[in-house]
Structure 1
Amino acid sequence: MQNHSLIRRSMTAAALTLAFVAVPPSQAVASQSNEPAMQASDNQTVPDKAADAWITTKVKTELGTTKGVTATDINVTTNDGVVTLTGNVESSMEKNHAVRIARQIKGVKSVDASGLAVGPARHDDSH
């Protein structure tokens, strides 16, 4: 009787082990079949979004620490490595400088500064 119990436990353990080993490949197949649908709704993966967030932060930091650029008047967004600069700068020289700074950041594919207007800054200096 004790021998039957030992065999039954061994068989149960083997079945459970086999079930746990078989589950990950089936989950991998299921996740691969859903992957195109997920990408269709959102073309960026989590690492891509993280890279874009890092690029945006790095560009803002560089603009904020560079003389001759009023970083508080420049908005920075990044999508798939493309940096978009919007806002106001005081001169075309400042605009070109901001674009140069953004292009130097690792991971930047291109810079769109079409939304960066040259004219008086919007911030209020009167206190």
Structure 2
Amino acid sequence: MRHPKIRTSLCATAMMFGFAAIPFGQVMAQDNASQMQKASDNQTVPDKAADAWITTKVKSEFGTTKGVSATDISVSTNDGVVTLSGTVSSAAEKDSAERVAKSVKGVKSVDASGLTVGVAEK
């Protein structure tokens, strides 16, 4: 006589845990969907490698270009867009740095709004 009560209790407990787990499964599915969306928004490895190559190439061009102080200009690249920041000694140096960056293969555009004209620290 006890066995049916135990069996009923076990079935009820299993159903309770089963139904309790449904919301957790939905939350996990939503988390996985949002993580997949974030992953697709990020750059791929080849894109990151291309951006790193562009940054390195722009910096090396600055180092070999007369009239551009490579040490006072910071360069970063994201999706082929080069961002220049730092201090340059003249408007001509700023224009030259922007022109040199634009000439590098793979550069889509150059944002030189972070370059300020002033006395560059040595």
TM-score, normalised via structure 1 length: 0.66
Unpaired runs of 5+ in structure 2?
A: 1-34
Matched residue count: 88
Distance apart, 1:122 and its partner CA: 1.5
**2:39 is paired with a residue of what secondary structure?**
helix
Q: How does 1:79-90 map to 2 (within 5 A)?
A: 79-90=78-89
In structure 1, the residue matched to 2:4 is none
1:35-54 map, 5 Å: 36-40=37-41, 42=42, 44-54=43-53
Q: Which residue does the alignment assign to 2:75?
A: 76
Amino acid at match of 2:77: T
What does residue range 6-21 of structure 1 map to in structure 2 within 5 Å?
Answer: none
Q: What CA RMSD, in Å, does the superposition of the two structures yield over aligned residues?
A: 1.3
Taking structure 2 as the reference length, what is the TM-score of the superposition? 0.69
Identity of aligned residues (%): 67
Q: How does 1:1-127 map to 2 (within 5 A)?
A: 36-40=37-41, 42=42, 44-123=43-122
The one-letter code matched in structure 2 to 1:39 is S
**1:76-105 residue CA offsets vs partner (Å, 9 max, x unmatched):** 000000000000000000000000000000
CA distance in 1: counterparts of 2:103 and 2:109, whole angstroms:
10
User: Counterparts of 1:78 and 1:118 in 2: how far apart (Å)?
Assistant: 21
Paired AA for residue 58 in structure 1: K
- CA distance in 1 between partners of 2:54 and 2:38 (Å): 27
Runs of 4+ deviating beyond 3 Å: 34-37
